Structure 1
Amino acid sequence: MGESGGRAATGPPPLVAIHHPHGDRARTLAAAVAAAGFGTMLLPPFAGAASDWRDGCFDCLVLDPFGGTQPPRELILLARGIAARRPLLILSDRDSRADRMLALGAGADDAVGWAENPIEVVARIASLVRRSRLAAGQLGAGELRIDLIDRRVERAGRLIRLPLREFDLLANLARVPGRPVSRETLLKAVWRIDFDPGTNRVEVHMSRLRARIDRGFAWPMLHTVKGRGYALRTRPGELA
């Protein structure tokens, strides 16, 4: 059973799996999450639909275990095992310290009493997904995805193959999006050179990187900032 948030032309958004024992509340929350730019999928009760939970390729699992027939702690432990290394957020319709403590004690990454106000829930989902991606060795925002472990780069869902030096240049710029990084800083970070060798190696590799990252797309990500170095912007017009 699924429901999809707006899938933008900039690539697939993070997918949030949601279960609430009351369908109307599940749909209210899913609408708010989708409006924030996430994809959503609504999970049915676990009993009789275990495969829907186990096979979902979601990025975050959001669950209210307190209003169904299954004991809350048992369901949270089950969800923790299914989510594995992905973030698990537990909701309660009550602003109850006991509910939050039970959830955190059973392995949830975060817990909140939302009382039909989804704004805080959406903010917590965004924070959990962001921290999860950083922990998994991922950088980037908007159209850009950089996997530091597999050294994989995607823009708008398109795989971009980069040689070693160009990948390292992009990763260093992506750590401070919108801010210029000097030529000297890049020489030290990418080539481990503490002095200016008097060559144009940075310029040459940046030119090659720009061709791979920007060519064929609607707007440029890589920019030369006169007197300050190079900068990566992850959205049109976003440059410090």
Structure 2
Amino acid sequence: MKLAVIEDDKETRAYVANGLKEIGFVVDSAGDGLEGLLLAKEGHYDALIIDRMLPHLDGLTLVKTLRSSGCNVPVLFLTTMCGIDDRVEGLNAGADDYLVKPFAFSELAARVNALLRRPRTTVDLKTLQVQDLEIDLLKRLVKRSGHLIELQPTEFRLLEYLSRHAGQVVTRTMLLENVWDFHFDPKTNMVETHISRLRSKLNAGGKADLILTVRGAGYIIHETG
């Protein structure tokens, strides 16, 4: 498997690249956005690891440029920008996952392997589609079997996150961090309540349950019904 690490901080770039090489990946690297864009377009990579704050061309613009050119290589963002709006912006730009600095290398490696294992569910730059569910990321619209479903903003973010991780078990902690930006357990049933409301809307009309509970682990949306 061949990866590219696009990161302007020399120490971080070397740390990530060397660590990935040690576990068997072929790794190229670049220190700025323009160099990274050229590398990504010509290198035929299996995944890209990109810092959001890059000189010459920022990571967000880099990913948008790649996606607009038809490049669908999985992208993992590395960043110090940890707000939920920052994460949503990055994912909507075309990234597949988001890891906040500082990070443990073991988590980085696990996320890269997860990206490489799963097929992409993105239909185009604007849409996610899983089973009979279609999510328009720009218009913020959701349809199931062609029928429009009205969702509140938090419900939309919750469904988007689950759909982007279709085929994976998503834990309660992952949802708290990535949908609500909570890095602690609020000791409420907030996640369960929102899952229940979202299910009711998605399953209206007797449709099969799209969001499944994995007892003791979390939730999953399967890629195929």
Class of the TM-score when normalised by the shorter of the 2 chains: 0.3 to 0.5
Could you tell me the TM-score, scaled by structure 1's length? 0.44
Q: Rg: which structure is higher?
A: 1
Give me the TM-score of the superposition, normalised by structure 2: 0.47
